[in-house]
Structure 1
Amino acid sequence: MATAASRSGRRRGGGDDEDDRTAAMRRLRVLSLHLQDPSPSSEAGLAPAACAAAGRRRATGGADAAAALAAYLRGRHRDTQARVFEFFLSRPDLQTPVEMSTAAHRELCFRQLCALVREAGVRPLSLMANDPAEYFAVMEAAGGADISLGVKLGVQYSLWGGSIINLGTKKHRDRFFDRIDNLDYPGCFAMTELHHGSNVQALQTTATFDPVTDEFIINTPNDGAIKWWIGNAALHGKFATVFARLILPLQGKGGDPADMGIHAFIVPIRDLDTNAVLPGIEINDCGHKIGLNGVDNGALRFRSVRIPRDNLLNRFGDVSRDGKYTSSLPTINKRFAATLGELVGGRVGIAYSSVGILKVSVTIAVRYALLRQQFGPPKKPEISVLDYQSHQHKLMPMLASSYAFHFATRYLVDKYSEMKKTNDEDIMADVHVLSSGLKAYITSYTAKSISVCRESCGGHGYAAVNRFGALRNDHDIFQTFEGDNTVLLQQVAGDLLKQYQEKFKGGTLSATWNYLRDSMGTYLSQPNPVTSRWEGEDHLRDPNFQLDAFRYRTSRLLHSVAARLQKHSKTLGGFGAWNRCLNHLLTLAESHIESVILAKFIEAVKRCPDEKTRELLKLVCDLYALDRIWKDIGTYRNVDYVAPNKAKAIHKLADYLSYQVRLVAQELVDAFDLPDLIIRAPIGMQSEAYAQYTQHVGF
């Protein structure tokens, strides 16, 4: 070890001083290059980025590239969305202001829905019955005008109307369909209770059949059974689909009442003419929320409320005049599964709408990052904040994810539409699990991303007019309703384990999971020591490598969690073992959903007919894939799927792709084709952003 004297002597030596100065200058030059050229290294062959003196800059192709990409993204229902946008643009009185009271927001939201149906001529329930994809497009467009409106529309048509279509029979559709469609019968979906939300089978509200009067008696047996958070209940709902335990007196063993499990019942809650709350029903307002205050959530208590026997939604189970129960399904569990299986449309809509909210947030953040200039090389103009590598790392993978989610949810909607047309049981099971996973994964990602977008816009992101606060608060509940995300991911994991067992029993795998046929054997073998070291760009950008990496991870997680569950179940039992492995199971579910998302993105890239648009999408897809692999690089390193040099190459290439996507970021957000009515944030407008922003506060 060198002594203090020897170190001092070296510092006094001219050669050593020169070496120190040279090293310091080299570090300064590297820092300067970082500010001018955010690419990972000069070895990538990139020229330094020009300063964004004019704020935004377009890559070659510019508006034409954005238009071509928008045409590919648009889908067959974009014209329907455009009509919704144009309607609200023509009606300033229906546009939601930045600040308003809860009462005013609720009144406006109901007027918006009435106008959309009665003036613009949109018939959401007919669309949902005949063309679900167009219905979801309308829901997304309405949510763009006001997320509260999109949710209120979903309560009226996906939930209240959907329960009539999916759980009722012809007599219910004949009586209710048209009046729900034209908003004569606004209604609620009364499933959640104070003590039970996700565990629907444990709901406590009862519906006891009275054979003397041929009626059901709806009761709230205790405070824990009060229906809670029921949309449309506080003000506007006239009916409610109430989920309750069907009780048949004297039908059980020894003459005790028989509990036939959870069924759905139509319960009038307000007078159609006077809007007065009906006898036996107590309604209270759930009050001001952290978001979605245009939706009137209420709590319902029932005190011996009598309804006709025909108000039982009897598709999966019926009660005759003499009190006999009949069903085509043999067990309570099968009836319950069939009932919930028919209600996945709401979950599909939430996933689809969440992507729309992510697009709005990313568009605002990217446009502002292109506009805002800060610092720069000495004696040169300031540069766009999106030219900083750190900013690219925040926003470019998020932009890539928006595209990935777009194609994944389009696929989900198509599968849902196919399910409704064919009633195929395999497709139904597929849609149930896929909608659970995509809803959970996308809404969680969007919730986190909105906060990142707000932070990336600095102080101006904190202004209410720039929308991040409202977007974050209104979207936050998407992680909870239509199924808590943690519970939904467990459903995905449970289905994967079921498929895993079927595989080793010689069974077949359903469509979404069929990739596991090939990769199930792979996790038992060691990774190829040659391919684990390949680090060339062509290899890393090969969709086969990317998809194999995602699927390999899922397969290993599936195999390892199955082994852990088997081990722990011997001492802890089934429930205890599941709980011991819960974090492992959630990681498995997320990994599988990411595999599905990437697969659908890759398919969309291959389908694109225009070569230049396809190349642009390929760039975005590669960034999505490699960013996700890098974020979980520890998993791949732990099993030697990726050698150290390959891990470094993945990181380096992900940086480079972030820079490349930054160069076309404006085209990518413009291709979302979101009108100013939907963006609204002054800092997110395509032109004169600062002028609109300053005008907002009176300049």
Structure 2
Amino acid sequence: MESRNPLQMISWSPTIHSPNPNQTAEDDDQPISRRIQRLSLHLNPPPIHPDRQVADALELQLCASRTKLSVSTQQLSDYMRGKHRDIQERVFEYFNSRPDLQTPVEISKDDHRELCMRQLLGLVREAGIRPFRYVADDPSKYFAIAEAVGSVDMSFGIKMGVQYSLWGASVLNLGTKKHKDKYFEGIDNLDYLGCFAMTELHHGSNVQGLQTIATFDPLTDEFIINTSNDGAIKWWIGNAAVHGKFATVFAKLMLTTNDTKGVSDMGVHAFIVPIRDLKTHQTLPGVEIHDCGHKVGLNGVDNGALRFRSVRIPRDNLLNRFGDVSREGKYTSSLSTINKRFAALLGELVGGRVGLAYSSNGVLKISITIAVRYSLLRQQFGPPRQPEISILDYQSHQHKLMPMLASTYAFHFATLHLLEKYSEMKKSHDEQVVADVHALSAGLKAYVTSYTAKSLSICRESCGGHGYAAVNRFGSLRNDHDIFQTFEGDNTVLLQQVAADLLKQYKEKFEGGTLAVTWNYLRESMNSYLSQPNPVTARWEGEDHLRDPNFQLDAFRYRTSRLLQSVAVRLRKHSKNLGGFGAWNRCLNHLLTLAESHIESVILAKFIEAVQSCPDPTSRAALKLVCDLYALDRIWNDIGTYRNVDYVAPNKAKAIHKLTEYLCFQVRNIARELVDAFDLPDHVTRAPIGKQSTAEVYSQYTQIVGF
């Protein structure tokens, strides 16, 4: 008997049988028959008259032209670029003029490391751009340089960050005038290449658990640095394996006392430790250096492991801003406890998180630009006997990329706000601003880097097979960026810090305390957020209402307030039986959701402010559209939460979903203008499928493979 596909045996029939209320047991096969008929209808739809197809296509085109906004890319770009775009263009132009300093697609680990060193030397000594001079005096300018440098090569960006944001900034922020006078020029001109030796084999995020020991020898007026055990080996230390000459080493300071204890633990402090000879570059006595080897990404950065065996350094090498040791071995500090000194020390290192949040969005800009440009160019399928259509015309593709494009804009304004707050903190040293920046940088770093990491894979997938070609950059961008979720604080740990700060502010709110700037909305309207939802507004489904920024922001803040109140109740309940740590662990997922919800509220608030402040009407209309998509997409993604508390009625939920899909379609219509407004030249994106001129894409691509 001939083998046949069962589906081929099903002929299409326009008749769909209705359920029969008098159906008997003998008719049990009827539901199966109906399902087969429906499947057949799906696989073999009835023919559509050609005239109807043409009419549908024309209607779609008319709808698109009728709803598309008129956007001036130049006006929008001018609003987006910021005040330091000129120095970014100097970076772009220098490396565009130096093909020998551009990172090839295929390069070995050792060659990549040497290339990154030459890139850094070229930036500082040839292009004359001196980033270190802006670290303290103009942080926003420094981070603008870092974003541009990271677009040249992310390994180059991280290597520069190790030299200036970590090693250099630790000397400036944790040391005093004597350290700045001695080291500033050498750090600035790259004579004093350095490392930031905090992370150990057994300890990363838990800095207070570090096991490297620094003891003071009053006979020689020296500190002795020791790696107490294998778990205390400094690990993943950038610049250590090949190029570094100094390291800021974080260690527990142990001092001899006259009491019965004999030795007193003064907490973690930072010390400048030379690791290589300045002239010969030989490893110094007592210092053992090994290469951490090939990594998943960022192989242009020479990460190494450091062990110290009784390495002696002068007493002046203690970075003594928050605590000092006299010649006689007496400890003094303006801060009374170990915890206060530790908080002050970490507070001065927050710039790394600020830079990662900002730079991560720069990576997202490059990725979404490549994906959108290719998706507009690539054509595939279409109505029968009609030309193929752009893959970005498919709703599924719009759903992948348009909310991501909206998020990129949202993160742009949120991270700019973070830069402004950080600059204010560096100038004022106001305690409230310091606390605000600490929590905001932790939350934005965690949220933006996690979102970008997921988005890079989606961008790769949205470009199909061509997204898999190394020359189109998604692989290197994804691998190089992946560690952003871990260093400068693991994202899960950072979100817990945000949640802990929210709970602290929640408690102070009800005790009449002062709330930090970021949490103002808790003070202003938490009571209204925690009241029962209005059954009338829960049903409003008009477009004007759903696109009202007040509704959007209220929805975000309502969710955060509900999460905050409920987790506070849960923690209080569980702590009775499990203790504080056990209760925290029991509620951990709830706490992480709370932190993310709060950060989303802050992001939306800053986006709304940016829309309202935009002076150009056409740009403001485009930004409003993008902002609405960001807000409604986030609400729809968590619609279950809103439905569970009756904040959104079923009809309203359905309206939010429909409007989100429509906004995706509208944003698609101006997607080219939106990515062009990022003002990333082709020599910056460096992906053949992401070129601005569609005429050149395939021609360059074919040339690369040898045609």
With normalisation by structure 1, the TM-score equals 0.94
In the alignment, what sits opposite 1:622? 628
CA apart distance, 1:604: 0.2
The answer to whether the 8 Å contact 2:70/2:618 transfers is no
Whichever residue aligns with residue 654 of structure 1, its letter is T
Q: Choose from 671, 684, 701 the match for 1:693.
A: 701
Cα distance, 1:527–1:121 mapped onto 2, change above 3 Å: same
Instruction: Give the one of 478, 486, 494 matched to 2:484.
Output: 478
Matched letter for residue 600 of structure 2: E
Provide the rounded CA distance (Å) in 2 between the counterparts of 1:434 and 1:207: 33
| Residue 304 (structure 2) pairs with residue 298 (structure 1) | yes
Match of 1:433 in 2: 439
CA distance in 1, matches of 2:336, 2:94: 49
CA drift of 1:525 comes to 1.7
TM-superposition CA deviations, 1:405-439 (whole Å, max 9, x none): 00000000000000000111100000000000000
Q: Aligned to 2:296, what secondary structure does the other structure show?
A: coil
Query: What secondary structure does 1:417 align onto?
Result: helix
**Equivalent residue for 1:514, pick from 502, 511, 520:** 520
**Can you list the C-alpha shifts for 1:389-417, whole angstroms capped at 9, x where unaligned?**
00000000000000000000000000000
Query: Number of paired residues?
Result: 676
Task: Between 522-531 and 114-123, report the one with greater CA deviation.
Answer: 522-531
- The residue aligned with 1:347 is 353
Equivalent position amino acid for 1:100 in 2: I
Higher mean alpha-carbon deviation, 522-531 vs 587-596, is at: 522-531
Amino acid at match of 1:120: A
Contact 1:36/1:377, CA 8 A, preserved across alignment: no
SS of the equivalent of 1:374 reads coil
Q: Corresponding residue for 2:3?
A: none
Match of 1:571 among 577, 584, 587: 577
Tell me the equivalent position of 1:191: 198
User: Which one-letter code corresponds to 2:634 in the other structure?
Assistant: R
Question: Which one-letter code corresponds to 1:697 in the other structure?
Answer: V
- 8 Å contact kept, 1:37–1:49: no
1:155 pairs with one of 162, 178, 183: 162
Pairwise CA distance, 1:676: 1.2
Query: Following the alignment from structure 2 to structure 1, what is the Cα–Cα distance between the partners of residues 350 and 27?
Result: 75
| Letter matched to residue 260 of structure 1 | M
SS, match of residue 265 in structure 1: strand
1:182 aligns with 2:189: yes
| Structure 2 contact 322–334 (Cα < 8 Å) conserved | yes
Name the SS for the 2:124 alignment partner. Answer: helix
Q: Cα deviation per residue 1:173-198 (whole Å; 9 max; x = unaligned)?
A: 00001110110100000000000000
**Cα displacement (A) at 1:522:** 2.5
Give the SS at the match of 2:312: strand
What's 1:93 paired with? 100
Residue 3 of structure 1 and its aligned partner are, at CA, apart by: 4.2
The answer on 1:318 being equivalent to 2:288 is no
SS of 2:554's partner is helix
* C-alpha distance in 2 between matches for 1:25 and 1:237: 68
> Counterpart in 2 of 1:223?
230
Post-superposition offset of 1:113:
0.2
Contact 2:68 2:666 in 1 (8 A): no
Once residues 91 and 475 of structure 2 are traced to their aligned partners in structure 1, the CA distance between those partners, rounded to angstroms, is: 24
Please report how far the alpha carbon of residue 256 of structure 1 lies from its aligned counterpart in structure 2 after TM superposition: 1.4
CA distance in 1, matches of 2:223, 2:48: 80
Q: Is contact 1:35–1:388 with CA below 8 Å preserved after alignment? A: no
Query: Any conservation in 2 of the 1:354–1:442 contact (CA below 8 Å)?
Result: yes
Taking the TM superposition and a 5 Å limit, the aligned residue runs for 1:658-669 are 658-669=664-675
Displacement, 1:445? 0.1
Q: Deviations over 1:530-570 (max 9, x none)?
A: 00000000000000000000000000000000000000000
> Which residue number in structure 2 is paired with residue 141 of structure 1?
148
* Structure 1 unaligned residues grouped into runs of 5+: 11-16, 51-57
5 Å-filtered alignment, 1:270-669, equals 270-669=276-675
In structure 1, the residue matched to 2:17 is: none
Change (3 A) 1:8 1:676: closer
Distance 1:318 1:470 in 2: 45
Instruction: Name the SS for the 2:260 alignment partner.
Output: helix
Aligned-partner Cα distance in 1 for 2:47–2:374: 31
Q: Aligned partner of 1:693: which letter?
A: Y
8 Å contact from structure 1 (residues 36, 48) kept in 2: no
Within the candidate set 211, 224, 238, 2:245 is matched to: 238
Match of 1:105 among 103, 109, 112: 112
- SS of 1:328's equivalent in the other structure is coil
For residue 14 of structure 1, what is the aligned residue in structure 2? none
- Read off the aligned partner of 2:142 and give its amino acid letter: Y
Letter in 2 for 1:261: G
From 166, 179, 182, give the equivalent of 1:172. 179
Amino acid at match of 1:122: I
Q: Structure 1 pair 355/37, CA: closer, same or farther in 2 (3 Å)?
A: farther
Going from structure 1 to structure 2, the CA distance change for 1:163 and 1:609 (only over 3 Å counts) comes to same
Matched, 1:114 2:121: yes
Structure 2 CA distance for partners of 1:36 and 1:76, relative to 1, 3 Å = farther
Q: Which residue of 1 aligns with 2:89?
A: 82
Measure the CA separation in 1 of the matches of 2:133 and 2:286: 33
Give, as a single letter, the amino acid of the residue that structure 2 aligns with 1:438: L
Q: CA deviation at 1:250?
A: 2.7
Shift of 1:520: 1.7
Q: d(CA) in 2 for partners of 1:307 and 1:27?
A: 85
- Structure 2 counterpart SS, 1:578: helix
Task: Return the alpha-carbon distance in structure 2 between the equivalents of residues 317 and 49 of structure 1.
Answer: 65
2:14 alignment partner in structure 1? none
User: Using the alignment, how far apart are the partners of 2:197 and 2:527 within structure 1?
Assistant: 46
Cα distance in 1 for partners of 2:539, 2:444 equals 33
Say whether the 8 Å CA contact 2:530–2:558 is kept in structure 1. Answer: no
| Counterpart Cα distance in 2 of 1:127 and 1:399 | 31
Q: Distance in 2 between matches of 1:551 and 1:200?
A: 33
CA distance in structure 1 between the aligned counterparts of 2:263 and 2:467, rounded to whole angstroms: 59
Match of 2:265 in 1: 259
DSSP-derived class of the 1:515 partner: helix
C-alpha spacing 1:306/1:656, structure 2 compared with 1 (3 Å): same
SS of 1:640 mapped into structure 2:
coil
CA 1:392/1:311 → structure 2, altered by over 3 Å: closer, same or farther? same
Asked whether the equivalents of residues 175 and 321 of structure 2 are also in contact (C-alpha less than 8 Å), the reply is yes
Counterpart of 1:55 in structure 2 is none
Letter of the 2:540 counterpart: W
SS, match of residue 383 in structure 1: coil
In 1, the alpha carbon distance for the partners of 2:255 and 2:115 equals: 44
Q: Cα deviations across residues 74-101 of structure 1 (Å, max 9, x unaligned)?
A: 1000001000000000111100000000
TM superposition shift of 1:671? 0.3
1:641-663 deviations in whole A, cap 9, x for unaligned? 00000000000000000000000
Q: Look up the equivalent residue of 2:330 and give its one-letter code.
A: K
Partner Cα distance (2:704, 2:55) in 1: 33
**CA distance in structure 2 between the partners assigned to 1:28 and 1:486 by the alignment:** 53
**Whole-Å Cα distance in 2 between the matches of residues 508 and 302 of structure 1?**
45
Distance 1:234 1:483 in 2: 22
For residue 53 of structure 1, what is the aligned residue in structure 2? none
Inter-partner Cα distance in structure 2 for 1:555 and 1:152: 41
CA pair 488-653 structure 1, distance change in 2 beyond 3 A = same
